[in-house]
Amino acid sequence: MYDWFKQMRKESPVYYDGKVWNLFKYEDCKMVLNDHKRFSSNLTGYNDKLEMLRSGKVSFDIPTRYTMLTSDPPLHDELRNLTSDAFNPSNLPVDFVREVTVKLLSELDKEFDVIESFAIPLPILVISKMLGISSDVKKVKDWSDLVALRLGRADEIFSIGRKYLELISFSKKELDSRKGKEIVDLTGRIANSNLSELEKEGYFILLMIAGNETTTNLIGNAIEDFTLYNTWDYVREKGALKAVEEALRFSPPVMRTIRVTKEKVKIRDQVIDEGELVRVWIASANRDEEVFKDPDSFIPDRTPNPHLSFGSGIHLCLGAPLARLEARIALEEFAKRFRVKEIVKKEKIDNEVLNGYRKLVVRVEKVYS
Ligand code: CPZ
């Protein structure tokens, strides 16, 4: 993959594959992400259907087609503003994140799968707390697998199976139970907003699910990177703040994102028509030799580190501060307790967009200090 990216950056940085325009250079990727007027996120027609939705004319549809991920301003800003303060660093449940981390780690010893025993439950337990829902890790993980891969995709028709219907009825039940009540959690905030019922369900499901897979992958990828590139002693000494940024750059949980052109545009020497799909290769931008010195080396204290792993511009990941907090605490607490002696087994998840491990078994020794 990274050899292909390097070749494309050099030989064909704006490449049409018959369906989609692919961008590989940092400068081009960043330009597209920062220009929401010409490069739209309205991939599912949410902005166009808004009046229909709000007037109750759309009753049966797929709620996850209607989230801020696939919307343009002013709708996007209205949606984002509804919950944005909860994700700002000063309002995050820092103590709870540490509490859950310490509890999960206290149950581990010798040899274990860090994905199943640590990187999956941590983000699920934290977002459950913020939403005020009971934290059934297995159920939420199942739903995350079902939905995460389809979020932000224009090209895939949903098949609504039994599990998806269960997810919708769970979200309806949680939302209904908070209507007209005092707002004490994020679910209450959504339930008592001006959105239509379908949009509320989409919003709730987005918050419950979007950060799970991605944060699991961030933690898993960082554990692998820190092991392969001997970063653990650095983390024990200096903390994980910068090393997490380098893991984000080097092994991004989301490899690419997509926009649609609102008008005819020119990128480098290529003319792209209105209504064309543009694929932004985050993972390639993060290795662009014009921006990052020695891009294929993992440098834990790399400064500055302007990676695009959380995007850029108005859609810059809302959950980024939470993901950073969870990853930093998870990796610092892990480093305090364990020395990774060996990665015993690893299996990548099978997906083109999401990058991480389904299984990452490590053998560890306890750190005595
Ligand atoms: C992005 C892309 C896909 C799934 C999930 C996400 C995401 C962004 N932030 C959280 N989750 Cl395909």
Pocket test for ligand 1, best of 64, 143, 145, 151 (most atoms within 8 A of CB): 151
Whole-number Å distance, alpha carbon 22 to ligand 1 midpoint, is: 19
Greatest alpha-carbon pair distance for the chain in Å reads 64
In the chain, where do the E strands start and end? 14-16, 20-23, 39-40, 111-113, 257-261, 265-267, 270-272, 277-280, 338-348, 357-366
Residue type, 213: E
Q: Determine the distance from the C-alpha atom of residue 163 to the mean position of all C-alpha atoms in its chain, rounded to a whole number.
A: 22
Residue owning the nearest CA to atom 11 of ligand 1: 210
Beta bridge partners of 342: 363
Residue type, 239: G
pLDDT in tens, the chain (369 residues): 999 999 999 999 999 999 999 999 999 999 999 999 999 999 999 999 999 999 988 878 889 999 999 999 999 999 999 999 999 999 999 999 999 999 999 999 999 999 999 999 999 999 999 999 997 899 999 999 888 766 545 545 556 678 889 999 999 999 999 999 999 999 999 999 999 999 999 999 999 999 899 999 999 999 999 999 999 999 999 999 999 999 999 999 999 999 999 999 999 999 999 999 999 999 999 999 999 999 999 999 999 999 999 999 999 999 999 999 999 999 999 999 999 999 999 999 988 899 999 999 999 999 987
pLDDT score, position 212:
93
Residue 114 belongs to domain with CATH number: 1.10.630.10
Q: How many domains does the chain have?
A: 1
Contact 241, 14 (CB under 8 A): no
Strands across the sheet with 14-16, in order? 14-16, 20-23, 277-280, 257-261, 39-40
Whole-number Å distance, alpha carbon 145 to ligand 1 midpoint, is: 11
pLDDT score, position 160:
67
Predicted structure pTM score: 0.96
Specify the 3-state DSSP secondary structure of 162.
Answer: helix
pLDDT score, position 146:
85
Q: Which domain holds residue 225?
A: 2-366
Lining residues, ligand 1, CB within 6 Å: 148-149, 151-152, 210-211, 214, 254, 317, 319, 353-354
Helix (H) or strand (E) holding 199: helix 197-228
Residue owning the nearest CA to atom 7 of ligand 1: 210
pLDDT score, position 301:
98
Query: Tokens 């932000």 appear where?
Result: 152
pLDDT score, position 42:
97
Whole-number Å distance, alpha carbon 110 to ligand 1 midpoint, is: 33
pLDDT score, position 159:
61
Whole-number Å distance, alpha carbon 15 to ligand 1 midpoint, is: 24
Length, in residues, of the chain: 369
Torsion of the alpha carbons at 207, 210, 214 and 216, rounded to the nearest 10: 60
